[in-house]
Amino acid sequence: MNHMQSLEISVRLHTDPDSIKKNSKDYGNLGQEIPSAVLRPSSINDIITLITFANNLSTPFTIAARGSGHSVRGQASARGGVVVDMKSLSRINGNKIRVSWNPNTLGFYADVGGEQRWIDILLATLEHGLAPVSWTDYLYLTVGGTLSNGGIGGQCFSHGPQISNVLEMDVITGKGELMTCSKYINFELFYAVLGGLGQFGVITRARIVLEKAPSRAKWVRLIYNDFSKFTKDQEHLISISNGPNYVEGSLITNHSSTNNWRSSFYSPSHQSKIFSLSHNTQGLLYSLELVKYYHHNLYDIDKELGLLLKELNYIPGFMFKKDVSFFDFLSRVGSRGDAQSTEEEQTEAHPWLNLFVPKSRVSDFNTGVLLNIIHRYNLISGPILFYPLIRKKWDDRMSAVTPDEDIFYTLGLLHTSYKSNESEIFDKVNDEIMEFCEKGGIQVKQYLPHYKSRKDWIKHFGPKWGHFQEMKMKFDPKMILSPGQRIFNFEI
């Protein structure tokens, strides 16, 4: 990187061992991708300068924007290239979150820096009595990071993923051009970037849809021992008008904790009751989680909730309730720090697998994957999420891909391994699941995808692959951005 010493940004390019080490690993902690330098930008002009300089070289170096470092397979890495520490922008310039209202068409919205964390956006918008409508379970992620993937959670069935709730963006393309884009201007870039895995540009600003925020949340978990009833009830809840505001499902096994890092919902007596049931059934239990938002003055929320629950087929006596503030519900998954920020996290690995499963095959998936592979390995260490999403809430013009069915389920197999060889065992589980789906013709799609061949990437994007390639050549023809995804930089 000696050729960059003449650049005006050279003082913000760091090659010291600590900077390199911190940006060589991510939350997955599954390997190292060592960059040559780390840029800590003081403004977006520093990023433009870096990308423009790379473009002007006969052999360009690669560049990866890194937010909170919570990718798990090195997706925000740049081996031998430059990692851009996006959070440096917030450290230098503070929280770039501006709340506005357009009385004509846009309604309430917030303009936020791509480096901003969702927790900070929640805090800033709540000061105005407002909030974004779609959330991930974990809020200590950056806007640029979630919009590059999709951004899914329990509100997704109603409002769509976070990428469906963006009105406008500023993006620095792989050619070093700063472009404002929306559905109406530079729309090709707009749709390419949303769910585009960082391949086309660096998001520096996003305009996010807001609505008036509720004050409280009635939070309920229901326990099932019948998969068919569990999925039928979830699908019922996401289909009705004036239903819940949040729906997620999860699995409880003989060897998994009812409480985990996602939340400490259950009291000790509740945990004991569920634990006893899971051992008596000697199999999986399924937990359906729903939330109904309300305001302090809405006195009949319990009546509304009672009518919802009356229609459901959970195990009698296994309904558990909480009443919490809206903020406490959304922030229920506490900060786990920046990637590799603590000694404990340096010894943890997270070989996660996230899949979208078509509704037509969920019964086969339950039998082959949930009841067989996952239960047989008896290794689960972390939450297992399983809940439905609605395809029409996703815009097919975006780069993100889903199964070609009206309803599909998301599986989040969120392993945590503590021993050096455990992650390999979890990877074996993941590979066996993918092999089962392949052999059984279950057309799953990976969310937060990681593939080992160009052929697999082409299969992943399916009919979108040709357009995805075309957009890459238009906005990043020298293949500079996000090499860690190994879509176009597979030789790295």
Q: What is the mean pLDDT of residues 283-296?
A: 90
Q: What is the mean pLDDT of residues 259-279?
A: 63
pLDDT at residue 267 greater than cutoff 70: no
Q: Which of 247-261, 389-403, 474-488 has the lowest mean pLDDT?
A: 247-261
Fold of 92-212: 3.30.465
3-state secondary structure 144-200: HHHHCCCCCCCCHHHHCCHHHHEEEEEEEECCCCEEEEECCCCHHHHHHHCCCCCCC
Output the average pLDDT for the chain. 91
Q: Which of 111-120, 221-230, 296-305, 317-326 has the lowest mean pLDDT?
A: 296-305
CATH of 2-90+471-485, one of 3.40.640.10, 3.30.43.10, 3.10.580.10, 3.30.70.2470: 3.30.43.10
pLDDT band at 336 (very low <50, low <70, confident <90, very high): low
Whether 2-90+471-485 and 216-330 share one fold: the answer is no
pLDDT of res. 375: 77
What is the domain partition of the chain in residue ranges? Answer: 2-90+471-485, 92-212, 216-330
Q: Which of 17-31, 66-80, 419-433, 456-470 has the lowest mean pLDDT?
A: 419-433
Question: 286: which residues sit within 8 A by CB, 6+ positions away?
Answer: 223, 224, 225, 226, 227, 230, 249, 250, 251, 252, 386
Distance CA(37)–CA(66), nearest Å, equals 13
pLDDT of res. 284: 84
* CB 140, CB 437: distance < 8 Å: no
pTM of the model: 0.94
List the CATH code of the domain at 216-330: 3.40.462.10
The per-residue pLDDT for range 147-158, each reduced to its tens digit, is 999 999 999 999
pLDDT at residue 273 greater than cutoff 80: no
Length of the chain: 492
Nearest to 350 by CA among 65, 31, 24, 117: 31
Distance CA(85)–CA(478), nearest Å, equals 22
DSSP letter, residue 11: G
Distance CA(67)–CA(77), nearest Å, equals 11
The residues annotated as belonging to the active site are 70, 137, 248
